Amino acid sequence: MKSDLPKVLQPLAGVPLLGHVVSRARTLSPSSIHVVYGHGGDAVRTALAKENLQWALQAEQLGTGHAVMQAMPNVADDELVLVLYGDVPLIRAETLRQLIDAAGANAMSLLTVVLDNPTGYGRIVRNARGAIQKIVEQKDASKAQLKIREGNSGIMAVPAKLLRKWLGKLKNANSQGEYYLTDVIEMAVKEKVKVTPLIAPTTAETLGVNDKCQLAELEALHRAERARELMVAGATLADPARIDVRGDVTLGRDVFLDANVLLEGKVTLGDRVRVGPNTVLRDVSIGADTVIHPNSVLEQSELGAGCIIGPFARVRPGSKLGAGVHIGNFVELKKTAIADGSKANHLTYLGDAVIGKGVNVGAGTITCNYDGVNKSTTTIEDGAFIGSGNMLVAPVRIGKDATTGAGSTITKDAPDGQLTIARGKQMTVDGWKRPEKKPK
C-alpha cells in the first residue's frame, strides 16, 4: 500500500477495511470473532480495541492455512468456523448466511467467483459431475487449469473438528513454500465430506485490496451500492455517482439529495427534506420539510421541521433547532438551542446559547462565550430582536421582547420589552490626516 498505515486499517467509506469485515461478521451473531494478525500489527489491535475480539498472532507469515492454525486453539470442536479476510470488505451478510446454511457437522461450504480474468485467483477444479475436487493456486496451476474462470474467494465455512484435523495435515510442498488453507478442500473430498460451492452473486463481494488503485475501485463500488440503497428506499439523487454514505441513514418520503452530499454516522432525514450540493451531514436528525442549502456542514445536532439552513452554514455538535428556524449564510452554531421560528440569517456566531421563540438575530452578531478558561451561556428570551453587529458577552440575558441597538456590546442583562444600547460615543477628530508613506 506504500503507507505507514497497515493495509487492513486503510479507510473505505471512512471505516478501516477490517472494520467492515468485523461488522459484517457481527451481523451473523457469532459466539466469537478471532482476528489473526501479523508481526507489528499492534496498530491493528489498538484501532479495534473496543470491538471485543479475540486476537491470535501469526509471528511468521507461512500462508493462509498457517494463519488459521493460530486461532484454532481457542475454538471448540463443536463449532462452525467461518473464514473471512480482513482486506475483503464488501462481502454481504446474506451471502454469508447462505454459506453457513450450506455447511454442517459433516459438510463444508466454499464461496467461489466466476471472473472474466481470474489472474491471481486459485482455480476451482471440478469433476465431470460438477463436484469440487480441489483448488489449485495460480503459481501451481497447469496451462489447462489456468483457463478455468471459476476462482476461489478463500471464504469458507468448515466444522471446527474437521478443520483442526485437516490443518494438522497441511504440507508446504508448493512454489510458495506456504501452508495453503485451500488444500483442505482436497482432503475433504478424499474423506467424502460434502463440499458445497456457492458462487458469489456479485464479483464485488470477493474483491480484495492490494494497492491504492484497488482501494479506490472498492470505494466506488461501495458508494454505488449505498446510493442504490437510498434510491430503493425512496430518495431522489441528483447524481448517484456523486454521493457518499458512510453510516446508517434513515429516510422519510420524497427526500432529495443533490450532488456531492456526504452522509456520515447516524443520519435521519424526515419527509421531503431537501439537501443542497456539497453538504456534509454527520450524526444528525433533520425534521420534515427542512431545506439545507449548498455548502453547509451539520454535525451531532437535531433540527425540527421546516427549517431553512445555509448556504454556507455550520451547525456544530450539541445544537438543537425547533421548527421553522432559519440559519443563513456564514452563520455558525455551537451547542446552541434555538426555539421555533427564530432566525439568524447572516454572518453570525452563536455558541453556548439558549434562544427562545420568534427571535431575530441581526447580521454580524457574536455570543462571546469563552473567556479563555470557562464557557458561559447567553440566554435570549422569546420575541427579542438583536441588532446587527452586537457583541453579547456571556453570561448575559436578553429579556422577552427586548431590543438591542445595532453595534452594541452587551455586558449586562437587557430588560424585557426595552431598547438597550451600548455603544462608544461617536466623534470626529478635526484636522486629522491619514499617515502617508515617504517616497523612496
Q: Which residue numbers are catalytic?
A: 346
Q: Which of 133, 106, 98, 137 is nearest to 120 (CA)?
A: 137
Residue 21's closest CA among 153, 135, 119? 153
For the chain, how many residues are written? 440
Task: Check if the beta carbon of residue 58 is closer than 8 Å to that of residue 67.
Answer: yes
**Is residue 53 within 8 Å of residue 22, measured between CB atoms?**
yes
Residue written as cell 471472473?
Answer: 115
Q: Which three cell numbers stand for residue 188?
A: 475433504
- Give CA–CA dist 385/368, Å, rounded: 18
CA distances from 364 to 22, 264, 325, 387, 396 (A): 48, 30, 18, 9, 18
SS (H, E, C) 208-224: CCCCHHHHHHHHHHHHH
Distance CA 125, CA 140 (A): 13
Alpha helices in 233-378 (DSSP H): none
Question: DSSP for 368-383?
Answer: E-B-SS-B--EEE-TT
Taking the C-alpha atoms of residue 314 and residue 298, their distance in angstroms, rounded to an integer, is: 6
CA distance 196 to 206: 17
Strand partners, 274: 256, 291
**Cβ contact 135:121 at 8 Å:** no
On whether the CB atoms of residues 190 and 150 are closer than 8 A, the answer is no
Please report which residue ranges of 123-178 form alpha helices under DSSP H.
Answer: 143-146, 160-168
Give CA–CA dist 271/385, Å, rounded.
Answer: 32
CB atoms within 10 A of CB 210: 11
User: How distant is the alpha carbon of residue 107 from its chain centre?
Assistant: 37
224, three cell numbers: 454505488
Q: Give the β-pairing of 291-292 and 314-315.
A: unpaired
- Residue 33 is which amino acid? I
